[in-house]
Structure 1
């Protein structure tokens, strides 16, 4: 086995044992598919490029480029780039959580996924879009908008304010009186 293969396996094992709250769990294998991989065994830095897919169970990450940074055999940071990059996860409760943006940064120690540039986060009952969304994968709390944009009244290419856009979906109303009694 060459050093690059050994390094890739060490990344897989690290992801395999770390990061439960992001959708990764320690009972299923992780599969990474990419056109190319470049790894630095000394620094724990690896770069996957070309239609990159990371799968584990009901979690799928896709992007044009994914960078994994490890320290002490644990994943510290995962950065995903794409036009857009995608995050799809079916939770244990059966909720489908989807996100996409041109850049995603996951910080394992904070259970934090930061989506920037045309960011969208879709939960089963609501959707959020902004230029920046910070999502805690453990608490499922999302914060959208960028303080710098709010202070400077930043505008997008069309001259419109860079605003946070939210869609809340009400629960369906029961219209059958007999069904309401049951």
Structure 2
């Protein structure tokens, strides 16, 4: 029981995790999983099995989530992994942005997502696929890369207006 209270306190200390939805910045973060453990000394928290992170419209689902808080409050790095891990959020009242990859790395201070391994990002019916996708949440800018093999390339699909 005491260790659960310590882990909950550690979780709340990591609450600098916020993204682009205007109301999301003001809401608390809720992380749920089947198991969790961490090191207060090392400022690392791990959530395992059936992981869900929610903050406002933000939702991350993964098999495993590691939260690294070594750089301090508001500078945490969240690393979600799964087959695949997924992210979704409403951006400023627009249609949702959705992403999935083997690993989703969110850097709070930089406001970026890095999707690695079978990465896919979609919004408004358009989609980008690649080995690595870097996405700046504030600027809504992306960069996609292939795995360097000539057999696998970055793919982008543009949907016509009105089609999703």
Q: By percentage of residues, which structure has more helix?
A: 1
Same fold (TM over 0.5): yes
Written as runs of structure 1 = structure 2, the 5 A alignment for 1:1-182 is: 2-15=2-15, 18-21=16-19, 25-71=24-70, 72-146=72-146, 149=148, 154-155=149-150, 161-172=151-162
Alpha carbon RMSD of aligned pairs, Å? 2.2
Say which SS state the counterpart of residue 110 (structure 1) adopts: coil
Displacement, 1:26? 3.7
Displacement, 1:110? 1.5
Q: 1:4 to 1:32 in 2, by over 3 A?
A: same
Displacement, 1:106? 1.1
Structure-1-length-normalised TM-score:
0.79
Give the Cα separation in 1 of the matches to 2:61 and 2:142: 21
Q: 1:22 to 1:76 in 2, by over 3 A?
A: farther
Higher alpha-carbon Rg: 1
Count of matched residue pairs:
161
Displacement, 1:32? 1.1
User: Do 1:19 and 1:25's aligned partners in 2 also have CA atoms closer than 8 Å?
Assistant: no
Displacement, 1:3? 4.6
Displacement, 1:2? 2.3
- RCO higher in structure (CA 8 A, sep ≥6): 2
Structure-2-length-normalised TM-score:
0.87
Displacement, 1:13? 4.5
Displacement, 1:20? 3.2
Give the Cα separation in 2 of the matches to 1:140 and 1:104: 16
Displacement, 1:74? 3.3
User: Do 1:129 and 1:165's aligned partners in 2 also have CA atoms closer than 8 Å?
Assistant: yes
Displacement, 1:130? 0.6
Q: 1:2 to 1:75 in 2, by over 3 A?
A: farther
